[in-house]
Amino acid sequence: MLQLVAEGKRLPKHEVIARTCVLDHHGRTKLGEPLYVVRAGLCSPETLFKHATTEEFLEWLMSLKEISFRTCDALTRSTRKLTKCISVVNLAGVSLSMGLETRYQKCIGDSGKLSEVVYPQILGRSVIINPPGFFYVLFGAPERHRHSAFFVATMTQLGAQGCSRRSCPLERWPS
């Protein structure tokens, strides 16, 4: 896997997995940080495991983290400023039933645990947008966070001076 990533190639099952699991790198913020976008509501764990094993999915997730690491490392070396990834998790379309696929959740958890050891400095911030209603109940988030002002406040915390809905630090935003 490391050799393929070093050569700028994707894993053999990349196309199959990417069609069922919508997450990948998506440009940079205006501050130059690599942007990693997860479209959780568009992922289909059931379909994923019809075409790939848990080992292949975990390897695919780790290959994306290796790409993030290499991108951040190159930017850090060229700018001489520590660069970390920004993860944007779009929960639009997520339902409680999506969390019932235990193999999917295990792979996501395992990749997170591996990433903490192998790439401890890769994630700068993680931003959640479009959370479903049950999110607030499960995590006890206050009612005031349901509004887009929370997104703007969070993006301001990412270091974008004068951030507003119109001047968000994202160069491109996935539709």
pLDDT of residue 14: 87
pLDDT of residue 148: 45
pLDDT of residue 105: 87
pLDDT of residue 169: 42
> Residue 86 belongs to a domain with what CATH number?
3.40.525.10
- Position 42 in a domain: yes
- Position 121 in a domain: yes
- Amino acid identity of residue 128, one-letter, is I
Burial (CB count <10 Å: 0-12, 13-18, 19+), residue 41: middle
pLDDT of residue 157: 47
Question: Which domain covers residue 35, as residue numbers?
Answer: 2-133
Total number of domains constituting the chain: 1
**CA separation (Å) from 83 to 62, 78, 168?**
19, 10, 19
- Position 160 in a domain: no
- Position 146 in a domain: no
**Cα 65 to Cα 70: distance, rounded to the nearest angstrom:** 9
pLDDT of residue 125: 86
**Cα 14 to Cα 46: distance, rounded to the nearest angstrom:** 17
- Position 69 in a domain: yes
- Position 32 in a domain: yes
Among candidate residues 115, 119, 9, the one with its CA nearest the CA of residue 73 = 119
Please list the pLDDT of the chain residue by residue as tens digits (175 residues).
778 888 888 888 888 898 888 888 888 888 888 998 988 888 888 899 999 999 999 999 999 999 999 999 999 999 999 999 999 888 888 877 766 788 998 998 999 899 989 998 888 888 888 888 776 666 665 555 444 444 444 444 444 333 344 444 444 444 3
- Position 166 in a domain: no
